[in-house]
Amino acid sequence: MAVSSVRCKVESKMERFISPGKGNGLRALSEIKPGQLIYSSEPIAFCVAEKFLKSTCQTCLCRGESLLRCSQCKSSRYCSVQCQKEAWPEHKRECKCLQHVYPRVPTDSVRLTARIIFTLLSDPAADSQELYSITEHQSHLEEMSEEKREGLVQLCSMLKLYLDSDVSQLPSGLDPMSLLARVMCNCFSVSDGELQDVGLGLYPSMSLLNHDCRPNCVMMFVRKKLKLRAVRRIQPFEELCISYTDILSPCVERRTQLMDQFHFLCQCQRCSDDQSDCTMLGGEESRWTIIRDSLPHLETLRHGEKWVELQQACQALIGAHSAAVPDSNVFMLRVLDSLMDSCITLSQYETALQYGTRTLTAYLLHYPDPHPSHAVELLRVAKLQHYSGDVEQAERTFTRAYDVMKVTHGSDHPLVTEVCRKLAECQAERR
């Protein structure tokens, strides 16, 4: 049986159509309730992000420090012999390429594009059952700045070096350059249930989904499988939309990122008539501007795992500006989240709980619809409350997390199972 015949499941709940002012899109064929699964699919190709190669199983995406390493390419890791065997049909061509450039590891987009090429060469009809074939994907080459095009040329050179073979057999209309551009504009970051990015995947039919800053759908992943769910009641023939960017950002940030990465100016209702910025940017502008401008430094400390320095920097910002900038300000909220993370990493759980609790009102304010980020924040705070011994409050917060997750993740998601187990623990302790 061909891989393409079992990879995706296109539900009768949606259809492709021409969305006015947007081009191709997807719309509902019937009424869809919040939490209802609309579509699920395995990727046509997937790669683990470079920074997680040493700690993530290529097959099941579980994490660990003592994973088995491919003896030939010395790059791919597996949690078991079974996972290694399961990955070999896809990995064997990639393995030779990784050996060819060892010890260098190409960028994520180059490795993903190579995997797509391997799939298309071995099965030219691999995307024939998709609603949107790869050749139809937009590359936006003509809209790219000269600087971005030059960067793409360099990636294309890297791809050709990596492949070290003739790719002239690609389907008509595709060449390495245009395929790279299509991948960069249409691939999805694949994350675990707690929204930690793991890698990149291409899900062709899902590239039809247009953007809205208040989407009616969200994507979640179980390992590599994408699941699209409704977060609001969707009427027949209503367009299905996701957010391409962090909706917990002011309008200018959202529009800038969308223009830079996806080459369009967002004209959604929220951007066109956005009162939420008044809340997102609450407080004295001169003070929250200082916080905003400090965020890149905080991210550098986080990336370098300098947790003590990150904690000190966050505490200094909060101490200096919290009287003039409320917790609902999105820049202050990012600082609170970073401080919570650093405290958890440093095993300072009581302090983490203090700052985590401060985020919950802001999250509820900024996420009027069920959203995975809100669910995960509730879960983190609930775990801290449980650890601190406040079982009654933990049970309430776990319940709130469950109420959001059953919509965003689905009741069969592993993280929802964990929340149910935690709820049962709290209830048992209170008896």
Residues 9-41 have pLDDT tens digits of 445 789 999 999 889 999 999 999 999 999 999
Chain segment 36-70, per-residue pLDDT in tens:
999 999 999 999 999 999 999 999 999 988 899 99
Region 386-412: mean pLDDT is 96
d(CA 255, CA 260): 8
> What's the average model confidence in pLDDT over 220-243?
97
Q: Mean pLDDT across the stretch 120-128?
A: 82
Q: Which residues contact 185 (CB under 8 A, 6 or more apart)?
A: 137, 138, 139, 140, 261, 262, 263
Helices (H), 123-263: 146-163, 176-186, 251-262
Q: Is the pLDDT reported for residue 3 higher than 50?
A: no
Any idea what the Cα angle at residue 312 is, between residues 286 and 336, rounded to 5°? 60
What pLDDT was estimated at residue 11?
A: 52
240 CB contacts (<8 Å, ≥6 apart)?
A: 14, 25, 26, 27, 28, 38, 209, 216, 217, 228, 234
Is the pLDDT confidence value at 216 over 50? yes
Q: Does the pLDDT value for residue 114 go beyond 90?
A: yes
Range in 171-180, 207-216, 335-344, 355-364 with the lowest mean pLDDT: 171-180
Query: What is the model's pLDDT at position 169?
Result: 65
Res 275: pLDDT = 76
Provide the pLDDT for residue 274: 64
Across residues 135-139, what is the average pLDDT? 87
Q: What is the pLDDT of residues 188-206, one digit of tens each?
A: 999 988 888 999 999 999 9
pLDDT: is 8 or 404 the higher one? 404
pLDDT averaged over every residue in the chain: 92
In the 8-state DSSP scheme, what is residue 168?
T
The answer, yes or no, to whether residue 171 has pLDDT greater than 90, is no
Q: Which residues of 270-293 are buried (b: 16+ CB within 10 A; e: fewer)?
A: bbeebebeeebbbbeeebbebbbe
Position 5 pLDDT exceeds 80: no
Q: What pLDDT band is residue 164 in, cutting at 50, 70 and 90?
A: confident
What integer is the mean pLDDT of 136-145?
87
Confidence band, pLDDT 50/70/90 cuts, at residue 125: confident
Read off the pTM: 0.91
Q: At 29, phi and psi to the nearest 5? A: -95, -20
The two structure tokens encoding residue 283 = 């407080």
pLDDT of residue 121: 85
All residues at 6 or more sequence positions from 237 whose CB lies less than 8 Å from its CB, including other chains:
27, 28, 29
Half-sphere exposure of 17 (CA within 13 A, CB side): 14
What pLDDT was estimated at residue 330? 97
CA 31 to chain centre: 27
Mean pLDDT on 394-418: 96
Q: What is the pLDDT averaged over residues 145-164?
A: 91
